[in-house]
Structures are given as C-alpha cells and as structure tokens.
Amino acid sequence: MDLVALIEKTVAGLGFEPVDVEQSPRGRVLRVFIDKPDKPGGVDVEDCAQVSNHLSRVLAVENADYDRLEISSPGLDRVLKKPADFERFAGSEISLRLRLPVGGRRNFSGVLRGLRNGKACLAVDTGEVELDLGNIDKARLAPKFDRQHRAG
C-alpha cells in the first residue's frame, strides 16, 4: 500500500474525511488535511492532535520515512479534488487552474454549479462553462470576508 493510501485509510478509519495529503519534494514533511463535515465549527485542535497521535503510530509500524507530520483543517480556501467535493460545495465561489487551456484560458473564477455529465459546471462572468475534472490542475474555495465595520 502506498503512503498516501495508508494515510487516507487511517484518517477515514478515525471518522474524518481525508481532504488532501501533501509531501515535500524530498518527502521529509507530510501534511495531512482533514475535515469532519458533520461537526459544527469543523475540525479543531483536539481533532488534529488525535489524528496526529494515531497516524504517528501507524507510520512508525509501517516504517514510513519522514521527518515531520503536520495535521490541519482544510482552511477557508479548501482544495476541491474529488467529484464529491464539486457536488458538496455547489453554490460556493471557487477559483481553479486548468492543465490545458479551454477557450484560451487556464484560470477561472466563479460560482460552482456542481457536476454535470461528470464535468465541473462553473458560472463565470461570460456565462457557464463545463470543465473536465481530469483537466483541473487545482481548484480551491474562494473565501468571502465580511468587510463591514462596526461603529463603537
């Protein structure tokens, strides 16, 4: 079993959703992003500590070669990778980059409409586009911040 599959299986077995696993270029740092969609407020420090402790033991048993393990929530600019992500976050603003251009563009920002015929449907300034999931290099939620200031 490869390292990413082992990490994802372990995280899922603990009741968390494995969102992403990143390895530094030499594999010395492992970054694991977890979520718990049904938990109000999302993942907290205790969740990260629980996953870190358990995963450290599993990786030791499997003789995984790494220097540092980092566990984190996916953050406000969460990565979208799996088809289920594109369904779950329909209605959200996202930005994405394609591997190969479509209509002369590689970068798109807009409101995700979900999946249609296995393609990500995105409402952009010029209308709607359908983008092949296999051509998406990176997709992220675009966080919105409330910029209203309170007086007093």
pLDDT over 50 (residue 152): no
Q: What is the pLDDT of residues 54-113, one digit of tens each?
A: 999 999 999 988 899 999 999 889 999 999 999 999 999 999 999 999 989 999 999 999
Question: Residue 93: how many CB atoms within 10 A of its CB?
Answer: 15
Mean pLDDT of 4-22: 94
**What's the rounded mean pLDDT across residues 113-123?**
94
pLDDT(132) > 90: yes
Whether residue 149 has pLDDT greater than 90: no
Predicted confidence at residue 148, as pLDDT, reads: 58
Contact partners, residue 30, CB within 8 Å, separation at least 6:
3, 7, 21, 22, 23, 59, 64, 66, 68, 69, 70
> Which three-class secondary structure state does DSSP give residue 28?
coil
Decide which of 151 and 24 is more confident.
24
Q: Is the pLDDT of residue 118 over 50?
A: yes
Q: What is the mean pLDDT of the chain?
A: 91
Categorize the per-residue pLDDT at 146 as very low, low, confident or very high, splitting at 50, 70 and 90: low
Positive or negative, the CA dihedral 120, 118, 33, 88 is positive
Q: What is the pLDDT of residue 85?
A: 93
Whether residue 151 is predicted with pLDDT greater than 60 in this model: the reply is no
Domains in the chain, ordered, with CATH? 3-72 (3.30.300.70), 83-141 (2.30.30.100)
Strand order in the sheet with 93-102: 127-132, 119-124, 105-116, 93-102, 136-141
